[in-house]
Structure 1
Amino acid sequence: MAKVNDFEQAKDIQYGVGSKQRFPDSANTHYTFPSVDDLLSDADQIAEMVQHHMSYQKPRLLTLRNYFKGNNTTILTGKRRKEEHVADNRATHNFAKYVSQFVQGYMVGIPLKTTYPEETINEKLRDMNRANDADEHNSELILDQSIYGRAYEILYRSQDDQIKFTTLDAVSTFVVYDDTVEMLPIAGIRYMDNQFRDNETIVYVYTAKRIYIFKGNQNLENIKLDREQEHSFDGVPIIEYSNNKFRQGDFEDVLNLIDLYDSAQSDLANYSQDLNDAMLKIVGNLEIDAEEAKDMKEKNILLLRTEANSTGSSIQADAGYIYKQYDVAGSEAYKDRIANDIHMFTATPNMNDENFGGVQSGEAMKYKLFLLEQKRATKERLFKKSLRDRYRLINNIMRVAAEGEFDVNDLTITFTENLPENIAKEMEWFTGAGGRLSNETMLSMLTFIENPLEEIEKIEEEDKNSPLSQPMYDYEVAEQEEVTENE
């Protein structure tokens, strides 16, 4: 595996010098190895793989992060205008954040629900999810998926002997798969700089049975195994969540369009500023000196007193500004076209579109979000696949710790798209037609109720202990006791 320490050089190698391709294919490739034993047999192989990730993949991930944070690298770097005296505004527009946050809210704005048919296991999983704040955790994974095209989580056993899971930084984490058609994970790797020691890098390698900690210098030369420890998950505890087949972010393929919009808006701002600083042009022979001109400027007037020409006749004088004519209407149409293309290719709605707003039913909204629905279906399938891997590892360690066991295939994982729905109108039609719903069904329609059955049990318990349910007179108590004895 060749070591390439410069990202631009990596692009030149793959596409040829001068290529306009933003990222080479190597910037998003999977890492594969025959087996974990072969990988661990030589620490230099691990160092080479991490170095490849730093050189090829990390620049892409950092670029996507910068766009999400509004630091659009293309418009903010380099010199856009040659003249020193003209305006050089750099306007950035955070379409990237809009796209990712919209997708995040659409998919998990209503938290996903994970249920198991056996109540004992269901209660344990529910308590575990609450302890790990699973709703927030899943939301962060969806956001990382949208930004980077991939997200990572790690499972571990805490100091108080609890099962925990948290997200990992996608910029410095990757999973190594075997080279079979199944592409089974054989190791998870994350690396970081030692904040207490300059020029030292720490590499953590997680396998199905053990965790290996390597240390080396910044270039990972002379990398050595520092220590190792066991874990009981019986699987690689770092799980990758892919956004799609190509692990592409939701706004990654419109970065060039975002750059075009930034440039157009910056050019309009430069035009406005250049107009204020435009050069004054005066035509004609004038009786005016520098002090008079300065005084006129301060008083915001311009009095043009002409002098006679060589023949003794008067001449005309004129004044005006020299500036570049700008097609404002054409510029606005151009920017609108770019913005609409960004929304179209990211399958997100343009909230400034007059045809999108208004009071609409959930079904009408679904037709307008048809492309986003197709994207959501793909993201949901891949997320569920990795989510089952999480609970498979949880089941493994619960079995070892004698805390219970369950069949991961029996888990029900439910996503609910976050769309405005006119439930009141549907209920009005249903009840008007003589329909009736159970309490469990009605409670399940409330987004803030996590478990309808649990809520019904609480209601029954409150009713049972309510003063209104207690007998008011002694004879009622006697009648109840008599009924109990007869039973």
Structure 2
Amino acid sequence: MTNKQNLHTKFSQSANEDLLALSVDEIIEDFTKLQGLVNTHKTEQAPRLNVLEQYFLSDNTGILKGERRKDKEKADHRAVHNFAKYISQFIVGYLTGNPISFQHDDERTQEAIHELNKINDGDAVNSDLALNLSIYGRAYEIVFRDEDNQDRFIALDPKNTFVVYNHDIDKKTIAGVRYYDSIDAEGIKTNHVDLYTATHIHSFVIREGKLNNVESIEHHYNDVPIVEYLNNKFKQGDFENVLSLIDLYDSAESDTANYMTDTNDAMLAVIGNVEMDGEDARSFKEANMIHVKPEMNANGSEGNADAKYIYKQYDVNGSEAYKTRLQNDIHKFTNTPDMTDESFSGTQSGEAMKYKLFGLEQVRATKERLFKKGLIKRYKLLFNNLNILGTKTHNYKEIDIAFTPNLPKSMKDNVEIVNQLAGTVSEKTRLGLLDFIDDPDAELERIQQEEDEQLERSDNREYAFSQQDETVEE
């Protein structure tokens, strides 16, 4: 955010804009152009990403910054509620809690995919990317070859990574940028900027504001090896649109806590004609009690006296209704359920859960489509290199990528549905519908093997009986 914008205003209008250049040559040949892109990302886009990360890490800036109480002696509690983490973890678990499936009809290509995912712990990388998408609205991944000559892919930090597009109507990625700082042996701060193009990795080193070193290394991925994943068209995170509601909830709970503390420290008012000096007041406070003895009136009767605390009256019902409304709005506008809601939890089938998660299902459809686009780019890059190194040509376009929502499942309902399909669909299709069977082909082979073994045992028994009969007859 620029010019000390706070969460009561929108982020900078350029916080989610694409960074553009006429061509990759323009960036390589004119370092000031590359510096300008990096500075734009630092000043216009990274601040938003930092704020979103702070909310995910339970460092809610709306409640933790600034002055909230005019009177310094009054309580100033700052209660932080981590709705951001709840929202992101729920959505990420729903999307990638079950590993993403990659299938290819070609057996050797399928083996290559399996090996690449195994080496890179693909399920973990996919989960990291999904989490970055949920927090920042964007995620970045780099494909590279490590010192062991293995093709690798890992997630990059969106706070110091971006891609550059050209000005075409159908904008294309022409470069990827990763920048970071270090302190050299002389204690001088050094800026590093790595520029990834379709053919080379250009590394720039800036010391004391001057370009100190440039190194270029060729790669063989035949495309920009940094992949950008998008959460939605506007690159918006999953809880970004409810930051103000989270702030209001934090404020409401903090005010409640402040009220409770202030009540304990409320001022005692003694009303009436009472003989009491400062020393008496201090003694009563230390003893946690007070003895009010009114003076005698002129006619010999006691005067009136009373003692009571002065504090602001608290509307319990109104305050709790207000906080409940805020909490409901947060869940409603992020399409996430409140798991503490008794009407949501309980013994419900997976199908019933789907209806309660209908809003999230609509969001998931968009998320999956954009996630698949990035995954296809990943395997395109990996296969480009494998096709150069090996004799087998792998076709990335034929990879079938499938997401399975992570929902509570009822095995009984699952089996009943499969049994009802007997005679309607093939046995392989029916087995594929069972949640606990990962490979229908392998299961069919095991079934056939068991039938053959059972038939063989039956034949052996019949043969044994026939031999016994022949022996008896003899």
Same structural fold, with TM-score higher than 0.5 when normalized by the shorter chain: yes
After superposition, residues 342-421 of structure 1 pair within 5 angstroms as 342-402=330-390, 404-421=392-409
Task: Measure, in 2, the Cα distance between the counterparts of 1:213 and 1:462.
Answer: 61
8 A Cα contact 1:10 1:56, kept in partner: no
8 A Cα contact 1:365 1:419, kept in partner: yes
Q: CA RMSD in A?
A: 2.9
Q: By how many angstroms is 1:53 displaced?
A: 0.7
Choose from 155, 174, 177 the match for 1:189.
177
Task: Measure, in 2, the Cα distance between the counterparts of 1:443 and 1:370.
Answer: 27
Choose from 3, 8, 15 the match for 2:2.
8
Secondary structure at the aligned position of 1:101 is classed as helix
Choose from 50, 59, 62 the match for 1:74.
62
8 A Cα contact 2:7 2:243, kept in partner: no
Task: Measure, in 2, the Cα distance between the counterparts of 1:89 and 1:33.
Answer: 48
Matched, 1:328 2:343: no
Matched, 1:286 2:280: no
Choose from 110, 113, 116 the match for 1:122.
110
Q: By how many angstroms is 1:224 displaced?
A: 4.8
8 A Cα contact 1:261 1:339, kept in partner: yes
Q: By how many angstroms is 1:226 displaced?
A: 2.2
Cα deviation digits, residues 113-155 of structure 1 (max 9, x gap): 0010011210121111011111111011011001000000000
8 A Cα contact 2:27 2:33, kept in partner: yes
Which residue does the alignment assign to 1:209?
199
Secondary structure at the aligned position of 2:47 is classed as helix
Task: Measure, in 2, the Cα distance between the counterparts of 1:335 and 1:42.
Answer: 54
Choose from 189, 208, 223 the match for 1:199.
189
Gaps of 5+ in 1: 1-6, 12-17, 477-487
Task: Measure, in 2, the Cα distance between the counterparts of 1:439 and 1:125.
Answer: 27
After superposition, residues 142-157 of structure 1 pair within 5 angstroms as 142-157=130-145
Matched, 1:104 2:89: no
Which residue does the alignment assign to 1:480?
none
CA shift in 2, pair 1:390/1:450, >3 Å: farther
Which residue does the alignment assign to 1:3?
none
Q: By how many angstroms is 1:306 displaced?
A: 1.2
Task: Measure, in 2, the Cα distance between the counterparts of 1:38 and 1:297.
Answer: 77
Q: By how many angstroms is 1:300 displaced?
A: 3.5
Give the letter for the 1:166 counterpart: I
Which residue does the alignment assign to 1:427?
415
After superposition, residues 255-266 of structure 1 pair within 5 angstroms as 255-266=243-254
Task: Measure, in 2, the Cα distance between the counterparts of 1:10 and 1:31.
Answer: 23
Moved more, 198-207 or 65-74: 198-207
8 A Cα contact 2:227 2:378, kept in partner: yes
Give the letter for the 1:107 counterpart: L
Matched, 1:59 2:60: no
Task: Measure, in 1, the Cα distance between the counterparts of 2:436 and 2:179.
Answer: 39
Q: By how many angstroms is 1:431 displaced?
A: 3.4
Task: Measure, in 1, the Cα distance between the counterparts of 2:118 and 2:451.
Answer: 27
Task: Measure, in 1, the Cα distance between the counterparts of 2:20 and 2:229.
Answer: 17
Q: By how many angstroms is 1:200 displaced?
A: 1.3
Cα deviation digits, residues 233-269 of structure 1 (max 9, x gap): 0000000000000000011111111111111110000
Secondary structure at the aligned position of 1:418 is classed as coil
Task: Measure, in 1, the Cα distance between the counterparts of 2:53 and 2:254.
Answer: 22
8 A Cα contact 1:209 1:235, kept in partner: yes
Give the letter for the 1:364 counterpart: A
CA shift in 2, pair 1:458/1:70, >3 Å: farther
Q: By how many angstroms is 1:432 displaced?
A: 7.1
Task: Measure, in 2, the Cα distance between the counterparts of 1:229 and 1:310.
Answer: 104
Task: Measure, in 2, the Cα distance between the counterparts of 1:463 and 1:393.
Answer: 45
Give the letter for the 1:406 counterpart: H
CA shift in 2, pair 1:288/1:243, >3 Å: same
Task: Measure, in 2, the Cα distance between the counterparts of 1:461 and 1:120.
Answer: 26
Task: Measure, in 2, the Cα distance between the counterparts of 1:453 and 1:112.
Answer: 19
Task: Measure, in 1, the Cα distance between the counterparts of 2:108 and 2:451.
Answer: 24
8 A Cα contact 2:164 2:174, kept in partner: yes
Give the letter for the 1:128 counterpart: L
Which residue does the alignment assign to 1:167?
155
Which residue does the alignment assign to 1:245?
233
Choose from 289, 292, 306 the match for 1:301.
289
Which residue does the alignment assign to 1:14?
none
8 A Cα contact 2:228 2:374, kept in partner: yes
Choose from 78, 89, 103 the match for 2:77.
89
Task: Measure, in 1, the Cα distance between the counterparts of 2:413 and 2:100.
Answer: 25
Q: By how many angstroms is 1:87 displaced?
A: 0.3
8 A Cα contact 1:307 1:315, kept in partner: yes
TM-score, normalised by the number of residues in structure 2: 0.89
Which residue does the alignment assign to 1:235?
223
Which residue does the alignment assign to 2:467?
none
8 A Cα contact 2:2 2:43, kept in partner: no
Matched, 1:180 2:168: yes
Secondary structure at the aligned position of 2:170 is classed as coil
8 A Cα contact 1:44 1:223, kept in partner: no
Identity of aligned residues (%): 47
Choose from 110, 129, 132 the match for 1:141.
129
- Count of aligned residue pairs for this structure pair: 459
Which residue does the alignment assign to 1:481?
none
Task: Measure, in 2, the Cα distance between the counterparts of 1:199 and 1:427.
Answer: 63
Give the letter for the 1:387 counterpart: L
